[in-house]
Chains A and B, each alone.
Chain A
Amino acid sequence: MRYESARLTGFSVSEGKEKRGGVDFNFLLLVLLLLVMGVVMVLSSSYARAYYDPGHVTGGNAAYYFIRQLLYACLGVVLMLLASRLPMGFYRRYAFPFLLVTLLLLALVPLIGVRANGSRRWLGVGGLTVQPSELAKLAVILSFSVLIVRYRGRMGSVRWGILPFAGILAAIVGLLVLEPHFSASIIILALGAVMLFLGGVHLIWFVTAFGVVGAGFVVLMTFFPYASSRITTWRDPFSSSSDEGYQIVQSLYSIGSGGLSGLGLGGSRQKFLYLPEEHNDFIFSVLCEELGFIGALLVLALFALLILRGYWIALHCRSRFDSLVCAGITTLLALQVFLNVAVVTNLMPCTGISLPFFSYGGTALLIQLGEMGIVLSASRDILEER
């Protein structure tokens, strides 16, 4: 009864001194499974580039990327377990400070960010680099959850249901466009939309938003040749001479040549510098080449199970805030997985979206595992079916 009311009022019971339940074992197991596979795939896909070192990064150390990813994976697991220990109220309390810090960091990126490929997307701190856009995703989930809970009942109105959220999205996306970071903007907009949908915003707004985004898209295509060339490349990558065209063709080569059962773990030939970003955005292509259709389906199935389990947790959370946060994080995960696989298989125009737990990138992995920790934290408070 107490839990029931707590859920209704949106207050977390963990603020009390009672002992919390254990984390959701299925979810944790799936995360760890995918993480282990991901780290192994980083080793397999990256050693060629690390060894040849065309970019003068690794000094010819074939295990360069692997060691780093392994280290971050270990740190990430610790972080995940720590995050699962923190009460959900903590996240609720610090949602807005976190949003502010994120906005601050986002604002710094165009000024002092590390430039790469014509964009500034990273902030460098010592030897570490952080993509504030990764933080922004979590900030949107947390802050939207707080607001939705706070404005429940008033979500149908523009004043409460739209403007605050639109303001946050506009601030974040506005800063992302300065970088520019197209793919992160799309994910954050989609994420925001899903959050609002879950928060009970009127459907008419989605129709409107869809229209606006569609119109914006048309404008983008018309006035930014960079974007429209991406579409051309997408439709016929084989006759495109652009880098993206080359990238996507190499990705298709990798995936297609894998066949049913693949060339075996470690057997990819495309990773020998044919396929760009092979341990990064295109790691799934290497996976398809090495493990074949069977392996690719298995990994997608594991992701599907994880996502389903995430939504299951969201449905069974004790508070609405927990539910929204879990649903948001799970949706973010699902979006990333879908968009990444859709890009590498050329279902969508090429854009840089990493595959959670697989793609190389230390801080992103830390953040992802932290998010998983938050879901696990929420799962502790579920009483049913224990």
Chain B
Amino acid sequence: MAFFGVFVFAVLAARLFQLQILEHERYERLTIRQQLREAPSSAARGTIYDTNLNPLAISASVDNVYLSPAEIEMYGEDKDLIARELGDILQLDPEEIREKASRSGSWYVTVARKLEKEQADLVRAMKTEYNLRGVRLETDTRRYYPNSSLACHVIGFVGTDNYGLEGIEAEYDSALSGSAGRSLRATNAYGSDLLFAPFEAYEPGEDGFDLVLTLDSTIQFFVEKHLKQAVADYDIQNGAGAIAMDVNTGAILAMASLDGYDLNHFLDVSAEVQAQIEQAQSEEEAERLRREAQTRQWRNKALSDTYEPGSTFKIITLSMALEEGAVGLSDGFYCGGNVSVKGRNNPIRCWKTEGHGSQTLTQAVQHSCNVAFVNIGQRVGAETFYRYCEAFGFLNKTGNPDDNLTASTGIDLAGESGSIWWSENTFCSPRNLSQLAAASFGQTFTITPLQLITAVSACVNGGKLMRPYVVRQLLNPDGSLAYEREPQVVRQVISEATSKTVRSILEQVVGDPKDGTGRNAAVAGYRIGGKTGTSEKVSLEAQTGEKQYIVSFIGFAPADDPKIAVLVFLDTPSNASGIYISGGQMAAPVVGNMMADILPYLGVEPQEEAENRRDVQMPLLQGLSLWEATERLKETGLRWRSIGEGDSVTDQLPAPGVMLAADTEVLLYRGAEPSEELETVPDLSGMSYDEARDTLSYYGLYIQTLSPIQENERQTIGGQNAAAGSKRKHGDVIQVTLVSGDDSLLGKY
């Protein structure tokens, strides 16, 4: 008996030895894992500021409400009461809350997230009133975007779990979110603290960095304002984008994409789509519509869309040709309307089918002549062309000449797409020059708008390709500087001298009111350079037969010492707008309007507009000798015609003191009498101011306008104060109003 007793107790002892000594570590580990609760102590998400420290995204403290059904069960709390009261406060279905409260196995069931303080306080009061232990609140943070939709695609948004999902919020998520701290607590099985032996280890979190963007809210506002206007004016079907970049640093000053959305309600779709969703036949259909609309509105077209840039790319071709010495300013180009290219059955046609004739290099750029650029591209040669494309950041060679190539700028923003290029073997094949020919004027490859403005900035900033960036500083939570980003030169692509030449040629595209296809981008008082682009979506046409265009304009200013470049592209203008679909007609004025707002804001001094003509005052000439009178008129800026044979001026038309358009031909009477006959007023509408002036002076009538006269803008007569066909005396002055814009074919490319 005793032996038996000793034996069985020895078995127990052996078992205890096994558990407590041999397997001690395993059980200790398991037990600790069970007993320690790791609670993240949330770190404040950093604020996003624009370059002038205006907040774009800020975090505020909110509350989540959750239930602990296990405790509701344990303490016998009234589920119906909880469902009713919470449903009341939170505007939720009480049945749903009741169901959640009944999941008795669970300790955590979320009821509502990110409640504002007022609602959370109501829940707190309710919890206290009924002494409910199963209803709990926890602190969370919520992101607010004070400017709603402004720069929405750049800023991006965070999901319910506070992870950045788009834009800066996604790209800089880890910097913004900091590191959540951890508190380790030994707890009882219900998750509350131990009674007498509290154990707590605290690892403090670090709040996230504040970000200072290069983005300037004011510039962003100007850009969005004019872009929205353009979308409305031209009935743009497929959205639009714009980028404003500091040409010397690559800093993004503004980046817009339409349609936008309100960052505070990023799930909400436009009213139109919402109406469609409500009309949808099925749940799935509604969901699909919503998804599609959301994906569309969240897409940053300036970064994520790739397109054939068209003629804006001629800046790149021009730059490389000048750098290589393949062309010079004195070179002449002949355009007969089309050009045959080896490897192509049909000749490449210029947009102007009758041809541009003989042109200088500058004129070829001003005209955006495709034939000339095919020629320029061939002078550069495919391999050199390809090398420059790599240098400008449009493609990265892989070493395998059969690979299709791609590249992107490496901007610090989520969602950047890459370009798509022909493989080196295809592009450089000596038997087929059609790729080179088309690429010379920006077709048959796709790039992102961001790539284009980055490369064009290099062409005009002295040749340095910059890496574009959006975040310029990281600030510590105490506001001190943690990190400052220096502009990063990727490489010198062309020389300063070449860049200067490119600038002056491009200035002629905007500045020349006759030949410049980009003259609609001109802003009085400022020197602006730029290039138009109209590209057909070739692959879409190949697939569907539908012709769609992307019209664009890239401009920079001041042309002699560029500070800012602005690219605007409008995706698929509708034919219904009545305006000729072209970059010069549609996109150039948008960039001009943006520049007109941005340049004064940036403190760029407008230059006195020497060319701007003003009306002049007719001097008193009666009684003067002919010589004296003509000297006086030359000073004033008027031409003259004299009637009669006398030595002195006996009469004049018009009368002294009258305001006249400069360069008007006035009449001097030397002994002769002015005719008393009445003249019929001609129809002036549609004429330029100069034409109207000359037409009227033929009849002895004179012109004057109260509208500002701008040499660089194509202005036409919109109205006249004497109706066509009415009778007027010789020497009468007709007042006209001038309107901007025309539908000249010159804007086409």
Interface residues in chain A, defined as those with a beta carbon under 8 Å from any beta carbon in chain B: 47-48, 51-52, 54, 56, 62, 252-260, 266-267, 269-270, 272-274, 288, 292-293, 296-297, 300, 303-304, 307-308, 311, 334, 338, 341-342, 345, 347
Interface residues in chain B, defined as those with a beta carbon under 8 Å from any beta carbon in chain A: 1-2, 5-6, 8-9, 11-13, 15-17, 19-21, 23-24, 26-28, 30-32, 34-35, 74, 76, 186-190, 194-197
Closest to A338 in B: B8
Q: Which of B2, B17, B27, B76 contacts A253 (CB 8 A)?
A: B27
* List of A residues within 8 angstroms of B197 by Cβ: 266-267, 269
Contact (A260, B196) CB under 8 Å given A253-B31, A272-B187, A300-B13: no
Given contacts A266-B196, A272-B35, 7 further A-B contacts (CB under 8 A): A47-B195, A51-B195, A52-B188, A253-B34, A274-B188, A341-B12, A345-B15
* List of B residues within 8 angstroms of A293 by Cβ: 16-17, 20-21
* List of A residues within 8 angstroms of B16 by Cβ: 255, 288, 293, 296-297, 300, 341, 345
The 9 residue pairs across chains A and B that have the minimum distance between CB atoms: A256-B27, A272-B188, A273-B189, A293-B20, A257-B31, A259-B24, A253-B31, A274-B189, A345-B15
Closest to B194 in A: A272
Give min CB distance, B686 to chain A, whole Å: 89
Judge whether A260 and B188 touch: CB under 8 Å.
Answer: no
Judge whether A257 and B28 touch: CB under 8 Å.
Answer: yes
Judge whether B27 and A273 touch: CB under 8 Å.
Answer: no
Contact (A258, B9) CB under 8 Å given A51-B195, A308-B2, A311-B2: no
Give min CB distance, A292 to chain B, whole Å: 7
A259 to B26, CA, bound (A): 10
Give min CB distance, A98 to chain B, whole Å: 26
Judge whether B27 and A48 touch: CB under 8 Å.
Answer: no
* List of A residues within 8 angstroms of B76 by Cβ: 56
* List of A residues within 8 angstroms of B34 by Cβ: 253, 274
Q: Which of A48, A51, A62, A345 contacts B12 (CB 8 A)?
A: A345
Give min CB distance, B736 to chain A, whole Å: 93
* List of B residues within 8 angstroms of A308 by Cβ: 2, 5
* List of B residues within 8 angstroms of A347 by Cβ: 11-12, 15
Judge whether B21 and A259 touch: CB under 8 Å.
Answer: yes
* List of A residues within 8 angstroms of B195 by Cβ: 47-48, 51, 62, 272
Enumerate 27 A-B pairs (CB-CB under 8 Å) in ascending A order.
A47-B195, A252-B19, A253-B27, A254-B31, A255-B16, A255-B19, A256-B26, A256-B27, A257-B24, A257-B27, A258-B20, A269-B35, A269-B186, A269-B197, A270-B35, A272-B187, A288-B16, A293-B17, A293-B21, A297-B13, A304-B9, A307-B5, A334-B8, A338-B12, A341-B12, A345-B16, A347-B11
A292 to B21, CA, bound (A): 9
* List of B residues within 8 angstroms of A297 by Cβ: 13, 16
Judge whether A255 and B9 touch: CB under 8 Å.
Answer: no
- B1, B26, B32 interface centre (most CB from chain A within 10 Å): B1
Closest to B6 in A: A304
A52 to B133, CA, bound (A): 13
Contact (A256, B24) CB under 8 Å given A51-B195, A304-B9: yes
Judge whether A338 and B35 touch: CB under 8 Å.
Answer: no
Contact (A256, B189) CB under 8 Å given A269-B35, A269-B194: no
Judge whether B13 and A256 touch: CB under 8 Å.
Answer: no
A259 to B25, CA, bound (A): 8
Judge whether B9 and A338 touch: CB under 8 Å.
Answer: yes
Contact (A259, B20) CB under 8 Å given A54-B74, A269-B31: yes
A304 to B24, CA, bound (A): 25
Give min CB distance, B22 to chain A, whole Å: 9
* List of A residues within 8 angstroms of B27 by Cβ: 252-253, 255-257
* List of B residues within 8 angstroms of A300 by Cβ: 9, 12-13, 16
A54 to B163, CA, bound (A): 38
Q: Which of A260, A269, A345 contacts B24 (CB 8 A)?
A: A260
* List of B residues within 8 angstroms of A307 by Cβ: 5
* List of A residues within 8 angstroms of B6 by Cβ: 304
Give min CB distance, B201 to chain A, whole Å: 15
* List of A residues within 8 angstroms of B1 by Cβ: 311
Contact (A270, B5) CB under 8 Å given A255-B20, A293-B16, A347-B11: no
Give min CB distance, A344 to chain B, whole Å: 10
A33 to B17, CA, bound (A): 24
Judge whether B13 and A270 touch: CB under 8 Å.
Answer: no
- B13, B28, B34, B189 interface centre (most CB from chain A within 10 Å): B189
Give min CB distance, A307 to chain B, whole Å: 6
* List of A residues within 8 angstroms of B12 by Cβ: 300, 338, 341-342, 345, 347
Judge whether B31 and A256 touch: CB under 8 Å.
Answer: yes
Judge whether B20 and A304 touch: CB under 8 Å.
Answer: no
* List of B residues within 8 angstroms of A288 by Cβ: 16, 19-20
Closest to B74 in A: A54
* List of B residues within 8 angstroms of A303 by Cβ: 9
Give min CB distance, B689 to chain A, whole Å: 92
- A255, A307, A311 interface centre (most CB from chain B within 10 Å): A255
A295 to B1, CA, bound (A): 26
Closest to A314 in B: B1
* List of A residues within 8 angstroms of B74 by Cβ: 54
* List of B residues within 8 angstroms of A54 by Cβ: 74, 190
Closest to B35 in A: A269
Judge whether A256 and B8 touch: CB under 8 Å.
Answer: no
Judge whether B21 and A273 touch: CB under 8 Å.
Answer: no
A300 to B195, CA, bound (A): 29
A269 to B6, CA, bound (A): 32
* List of B residues within 8 angstroms of A56 by Cβ: 76
* List of A residues within 8 angstroms of B21 by Cβ: 259-260, 293
* List of B residues within 8 angstroms of A338 by Cβ: 8-9, 12
* List of B residues within 8 angstroms of A257 by Cβ: 24, 27-28, 30-32
* List of B residues within 8 angstroms of A254 by Cβ: 31
A293 to B30, CA, bound (A): 18
* List of B residues within 8 angstroms of A266 by Cβ: 196-197
Closest to A335 in B: B8
Give min CB distance, A235 to chain B, whole Å: 15
Judge whether A256 and B23 touch: CB under 8 Å.
Answer: yes
Give min CB distance, B5 to chain A, whole Å: 6
